[in-house]
Amino acid sequence: MRFSCSREGLLGALQIVGSVVSSRGMKPVYESVLVLSRNGGLELQGTDLEVAIRYTLEDPELGIEEAGAFAVPAQRLTSILREVRDEKIHFAWEDHHLQVSCQGSRFRILGLPAEEFPEIPAFPERTVVTLPSGIFSRMVKRTAFATAREKMRYALNGVLLLLREQKLEMVGTDGRRLSYTCGAVDNPNQVEIRAIVPTKGMNQIVKILGEEEESLDLALSERQLAARTRQAMVISRLVEGTFPDFEEVIPVNCEHGATLPREEFVAAVRKASLLTTRESQTVRFSFGREMLALTARAAEVGEAHVEMAIALEGDEAEIAFNPVYVLEGLNAMEGDEVRFEFRNPKSPAKITDGDDFTYVVMPISLE
């Protein structure tokens, strides 16, 4: 196989595909990206056996002299392209080596035959729903951050994706906080989806999305979710397990509440958190009739006291939280104002940004 293309175009494609490739795979092939000519163009594939991606290079400088396919270490090739500065680079695959040629430099990388690369299935054309990419991307960013990072949490290691009638919903939780968002979508074929998609898979789908107005096709097959844009396709295995009943977790009929300016609230929580430690990561929220006081105290660093004006609804009350969890939820919100509500100091608080984004965070005991 022989071809030439722009450095910038191939590097961008490698960075997307390489993000799913393992840096320490069980076999060298799992650290590699597959490069092949297809329909007169160039396609890159990568997988870690949980998430797989196919990406079509769109490069006006692309010229394929000889068709073929090969697998080459993704990290190695990416590092080379980062270092060279030539606008156009030439590639040749011969005798299990990829030769990379540019002005003043030449590299010869040991690769693998394309036949050793795992086969990535085609996009399933049945039960397909098409969504605006902007809505999907925003919803993932509102939920993926709240999923569990510990690998043994199973169902909590992914985002719950729900498509029911004309409503798309996503939920992420790690057991200490929960993030829920929803949006209206066109679903003329009444496709239904209920799946727990690994956080890595959801984030990878967002990476392939282009312009805000671009469309995204989703299709659910047995134990897999496939996502497709004009230029790329991602297939992700689903997480096995039972997702918590999130509707039961979201508080209703809260006794205490206030509408707060989001940026001022973020600044106040951040200031109070400056005098917390890893061992004492607690901020006390004291809701007065006209003032919210945020206090933090750690013997080894000192104390913080921050105030902001509010109009409290309900009786005065105190509740405490890990400020990191509160801030992560607030930073995922976009409105000028947010609604903060809770029942009592031992029950979770609910922070809402309009009608389509709800964030629930568990309190820390004041005792």
Q: pTM for the complete prediction?
A: 0.90
Q: How far apart are CA 110 and CA 165, in angstroms?
A: 51
What confidence score (pLDDT) does residue 212 get? 65
Q: Give me the domains of the chain, ranges plus CATH numbers.
A: 2-116 (3.10.150.10), 128-246 (3.10.150.10), 250-361 (3.10.150.10)
* pLDDT given at position 25: 66
Phi, psi of 346 (to 5 degrees): -105, -5
**pLDDT given at position 211:** 65
Stretches where the chain sits below pLDDT 70 are 25, 211-213
Confidence at residue 210, expressed as pLDDT on a 0 to 100 scale: 73
- Specify the pLDDT at position 53: 96
Long-range CB contact pairs, 272-275, < 8 A, 24+: 272/296, 272/304, 272/305, 272/306, 272/323, 273/304, 273/323, 273/324, 273/327, 274/304, 275/301, 275/302, 275/303, 275/304
